[in-house]
Amino acid sequence: MLTDAQIDEMMARVRKLELKARRLVRESFSGEYRSSFQGQGLDFDDFREYQHGDEVRFIDWNVTARMNQPFVRKFREERELSVILAVDVSGSADYGSVSMSKREVAAEAAAVLGFSALHNGDKVGLLIFASEAVLFIPPEKGSRHLLRMIREILVAKPEKPKTSVAEACDFLVRTLRRKSLVFMISDFFSDPLEKPLGKLACKHETIALRLLDPLEIKLPKAGPVVMIDPETGFETLVNTSNSNVRMGYARLMARQLEGCDAIFKKHGIDSTDLMSHGDTLAALHRLLKKRSRKRSG
């Protein structure tokens, strides 16, 4: 159970995230969000006279008969999306070697995306997961709803700290009845990945935000170091002064990241890396600009 001091500290972080996210959305992010994500269908808008090039299937024959000339039905995009933030809070999420933990980066990204969604009239929901689904909050509108979700991301303490992206994907496939936009926020250090992510991407538009720390990619030359797996508690002594150890580790991580990227590409999942020492907003900007170019091109 959290102490009063811990609760006060956590709420201060939530308020700071809220202020930062609202400012970013207001100043620069909302338009890119809107141009990157489509609504989930078309609503009837009005009738107009048929023009050369219009699709015959949109001709309304009843109106055409009354007016003695062809009329077609006009539609407008149904703007409202159902956005799901699926956030990994396993043991590895609390790691951060620089200034922020991966969990804090996830909360920051969730805040920016969540306020962007609300600003554009979309509903936002949350799945917190580790080895299993920890908490699911159905999509709704409203700032208080979103602030509760950010708070839950920061304070969640799963009983089983291992990572299972497969369990998260299966939960969303079973639970979400309406086609949704899913942001999967995780380090993706989990097996299996391909089938669960593929199944999720077939039913819902899926975007991967991969959380990484620089020391996970490249070991420093720091002599003998005791490493502890935060998800299993396993400890091992690693001599980081050994160049072969560092090179071997770098090759292993490169294969893991490349394999993950290949899965994303195969299933049409757009992705970007969110570094614990990097600029979260800049990474999200790059992702949305890329999606906007694909949509317009």
Segment 102-149, tens digit of pLDDT:
999 999 999 999 998 888 889 999 999 999 999 999 999 999 999 999
| pLDDT bucket at 48, cuts 50 / 70 / 90 | confident
Q: Identify the CATH number of the domain defined by range 4-36+80-296.
A: 3.40.50.410
β partners of residue 232: none
Model-level pTM?
0.83
Q: Report pLDDT for 38.
A: 62
| pLDDT bucket at 296, cuts 50 / 70 / 90 | low
| pLDDT bucket at 278, cuts 50 / 70 / 90 | confident
Segment 66-97, tens digit of pLDDT:
888 888 877 655 557 899 999 999 999 999 99
Burial class (CB in 10 A: 0-12, 13-18, 19+), 122: buried
Q: Report pLDDT for 297.
A: 55
* Residue whose structure tokens are 């159902």: 82
Looking at the chain, the domain(s) classified CATH 3.40.50.410 span 4-36+80-296
| pLDDT bucket at 168, cuts 50 / 70 / 90 | very high
- The vertex-276 CA angle with 270 and 279, nearest 5°, equals 70
**Statement: residue 27 has pLDDT above 80:** no
Residue 247: which region, alpha, beta or left (left: phi > 0; alpha: psi -120 to 50)?
alpha
For range 24-46, the mean pLDDT:
66
